[in-house]
Each structure stands twice: as C-alpha cells, then as structure tokens.
Amino acid sequence: MSFSQIELMNALHLLSERLPDFSEQQAQSNRLLRVVTERLSSHLNEGLKEFGINENLWFAMLALYVSPNSEILPSRLSDLMDLTRTSATRLSDEMVEHGWVERHINQQDRRQIVLKLTAEGEAFIQKVWPKIASKSGAAWEDFTNDDYAQLQHLLSKLLARLGG
C-alpha cells in the first residue's frame, strides 16, 4: 500500500471545489492523523510480534508496571487505555494466562478484583523494552523537545474538543 500526500492534496482540492464549506486543511489533517496512527501502530506491532503480543497487551502491561504496587483495577485499566470493559477483561485474561498478572481480591473492597503484575510480568517488560525503545526511537529521532511539545499541545487541543 502506497500513500501519496500529493494525490491526497489533489483529491481534497477537487472536493473543495465541488462541496460547499469543505475544508481542505481539516480533511488533510484528519487523513494524515489516520495514516500516521495506523503506521505507528503497525511499527510498534511489528516490533512486538517476535514476543507474541500486540500493542494493546503491551500498553496494558506498562499500565500495570507503573501503577502503585504494580496493581490496578480492571475498570481503571479500561479507562487508562480507552477500552471497553470487555476488551480490558480480555487483555486481563491473556496476561493471566501468560503468568504476567495475577488476580486478587481487593482488600479494601472485597467485591472488586485487582490485577497485580507478577515477577514474570516485570521480567517480560524488562526483556521487551530495549527492543521497543530502539525501534520506536528511530521513528522519532528527528523530533526536538519543541516538536514534541507542539505536537502534544495540538493533539491535546483536538482531543479536548472531541470530548477526551
């Protein structure tokens, strides 16, 4: 699959001539965000493939890793990752099956289940991280701190308008 920004800009220009109030800039930004997001996801998943996981499972592991005592409620995991409760449960099941996470009863509220990262889970993160850091770092190597700040500001602004 070959994405061409020139072809995209030409098509969007034609649309702007035919559709009233069509914003070329907005449409181009939407499309570029989509293409970049898909490519970033593919790039990360390619690096994770050798470990038998995908980006959702990786980010779930990292969420547990940085949580106090390496514990998290499944509902909190769902919120952090912007996933449905069902998807978070599926990820939890997979992490438990691999032995990276254990389920425990919450001692403060015995109706709740807590996910806790195991020593095996922490070792897995330590094993995977160097490969992922190296691979993803190459994609971002031309970005300055100012570039990151500007990108994060603009994406946060858009996310706020979308209700996030």
For 145-159, how does the pLDDT look when each residue is reduced to its tens digit (9 = 90+)? 999 999 999 999 999
Placement of tokens 């995977």 in the chain: 128
Instruction: Examine the pLDDT at 75 and tell me if it is beyond 80.
Output: yes
Q: How far apart are the two ends of the chain, measured CA to CA in Å? A: 31
- For residue 38, the model assigns a pLDDT of 93
**At 160, is the secondary structure helix, strand, or coil?**
helix
> For the structural domain made of 52-140, what CATH number should be given?
1.10.10.10
Tokens (6 digits) for 31: 């499309």
The Cα–Cα gap between 39 and 57 comes to: 18
Q: Per-residue pLDDT averaged across 45-52, rounded? A: 94
CATH 1.10.10.10 residue window(s) in the chain: 52-140
Instruction: Give the chain's mean pLDDT.
Output: 91
Q: In what order do the strands lie in the sheet with 113-117?
A: 71-72, 113-117, 101-105
- For residue 90, the model assigns a pLDDT of 94
- Single-letter amino acid code for the residue at 1: M
- For residue 107, the model assigns a pLDDT of 80
What pTM was computed for the model?
0.81
